[in-house]
Amino acid sequence: MPYLRKARAERLEWSHRYTASAVATFILCLIAAALVFPAFTVPEDFFLHVLLVAFAFGFGVDSAVIEGAEWIFSKKTEP
């Protein structure tokens, strides 16, 4: 629990870039799912498999959105 001790000792600030990337990822995945699977039904035998694949896909898209934002809106540093 070192994080909790650190959180109590310091004032934590939330970066709204995390919020923006989460919203962008959610919208992008929602659009992709609506286009790819308009009438998708999950067989009961494969529910866990489909859930894990969807989680992995969402995690990958979130990473891509965050990296894309870093490339587009990178903070320029002087050498």
DSSP per-residue string spanning 24-76 = HHHHHHHHHHHHH-TT----GGGHHHHHHHHHHHHHHHHHHHHHHHHHHTPPP
Q: What is the pLDDT of residue 2?
A: 64
pTM reported for the whole predicted model:
0.51
pLDDT digits (tens, 9 = 90+) for 14-69: 778 778 888 888 888 788 877 877 777 777 788 788 778 878 877 787 788 888 88
Structure tokens at 28: 């992008």
Q: Report the amino acid identity of residue 49.
A: H
pLDDT value, residue 19: 85
The residue with tokens 């799912």 is 33
**12: pLDDT confidence band, cut at 50, 70 and 90?**
low
